[in-house]
Amino acid sequence: MKTSTIALAAALALSACSSPSDTKAQEGVFNEAPRRVPGDAAGVKASFAPVVRLAAPAVVNIAAVGVQQVRDPFWGIPGQRQTGSIGSGVIVRADGVVVTNNHVIQGMQQIRVTLNDRREYPARVILADERSDIAVLQLEGVEGRLPVLNLDDQEEQQVGDLVLAIGNPFGVGQTVTNGIISAVNRTETGISDSSSFIQTDAAINPGNSGGALVDMDGDLIGINTAIFSRSGSSSGVGFAIPAAMVRQVVNAAVGGATAVVRPWLGVKGDPVTQDIASSLGLDRPQGLVVTEVYPNGPAARAGIRQGDILTSIDGAAVNDQNGLNFRVGSRDPGDAVQVGVIRDGRAQTLTARAQRLPGEADLDRARVIRSGALSGAAVLVLNPALADALGGDPFASGVIIGRVERGSFAQAVGFRPGDVLVSVNDRPISTLEQAGNVARGSRVVIQRQGRLIPGVIR
């Protein structure tokens, strides 16, 4: 029954593309009817070919080769081992700028890109952003203009919209799969704290990473980046980085930046639960309760207060910290954003201006301590820009360990790069001088990968 229904719909769609007076169409010769982007459900059942024809030429295959340093497990002799990676990418500028996932090319020395028409180009990385898992490549030796995909970053997609995933699964060559948008604004995925993902049930498999998620206009709405699967193959739960974040990284790369600048509002909050909503008289859980406002930061200057319920950024709903980070982080520094808040039961809109995080994120400025319990540790005083660059909490304070010298006392007692020294003998630590005076026998609290760990330096 299902098969005959689809066949009937396809026949109706094809006949609708031709005039009733067209004798060939009436005789059943449909293959000469002009194909165009489907305009309705019946047309979609007929064929995705018009959309594929628009999008596929700009989707590329990527093969990367690297060298990994290894040590012989028996003799301990150092050596090298060649590693490889296969993935996909999308041409976004006619001069050969390609977007892919950072994990496709990370640690690789040679990158080769193959177009759909089998042309091949060497490529170099012009910007790799590990936090968003986006890398921007420049093809070398390009003559003329290459096919491109238009970036659609308007975020007008809705759950249920039809999409196509185009990439290079398992290295077999360019492959197209179709599905729908299963969800938008997915933040609690564990993939990244700087993106709000599009979820799709279009089949995404190993090798599809960096490929295109396109809508029925043939526009790029996302870069396929991850799947949830117990087997390693598609289980219908795939995630794509939205085009808004892709555009931000591309603009930074072609503008000559060496890193992506993500502005902030200087506000931190917790999701509104049902209990919190009931206590505040809200009809449903929404937004996040503001728990901290950075002194003299953008939010503070806009009038946002601790205890406010922050519900939206520029009209887009925000329900957790990651969602807020993405909405603000995908803007440019200096952009005005409309912040929806509920205060004392009344909804209002405040205007804030997204700004760069204060401070410097330069790890090269770390000072190596030569005495005391931290001897051999290179340390820096945390600031919002540094904490954010390291993937931590911009509101965190303390002294962070940038690196630990091999064989040092700091290594012997268990300190690691990335540890944040929060307190010593129950007193907060905030200066390099304090870090240099930490003695053996001190009680310390460190923050490691989001966990507070107390201990005594022996």
Residues with catalytic function = 103, 133, 209
Classify each residue of 250-282 as buried b or exposed e, where b means 16 or more C-beta atoms within 10 Å of its C-beta.
bebbbeeeeebebbbbbbbbebbeeebbeeeeb
3-state secondary structure of 235: coil
DSSP string, 18-33: S-TT-HHHHTT--TTS
CA distances from 321 to 271, 279, 326, 381, 437 (A): 8, 21, 9, 24, 36
3-state secondary structure of 277: helix
3-state secondary structure of 275: helix
Per-state percent for the chain, helix, strand, coil, to nearest 5: 20, 35, 45
**Which amino acid appears at position 6 of this protein?**
I
User: Under 8 Å CB-to-CB from 346, ≥6 apart: which residues?
Assistant: none
Work out the burial of residue 208: count CB atoms within 10 Å of its CB; fewer than 13 is exposed, 13-18 middle, 19 or more buried.
Answer: buried
CA distances from 438 to 175, 285, 417, 418 (A): 59, 46, 17, 18
DSSP string, 379-391: EEE--HHHHHHTT
Other beta carbons less than 10 A from residue 443's beta carbon: 13
140: alpha, beta or left? (left if phi > 0; alpha if psi -120 to 50): beta
CA 66, CA 77: separation in Å to the nearest integer?
20
User: In this structure, what DSSP letter does residue 58 have?
Assistant: G
Let me know: does 348 contact 364? Beta carbons within 8 Å: no
DSSP string, 401-448: EEEE-TT-HHHHTT--TT-EEEEETTEE--SHHHHHT--TT-EEEEEE
Other beta carbons less than 10 A from residue 48's beta carbon: 19
Tell which residue, 128, 193, 204, 136, has the closest CA to residue 166: 204
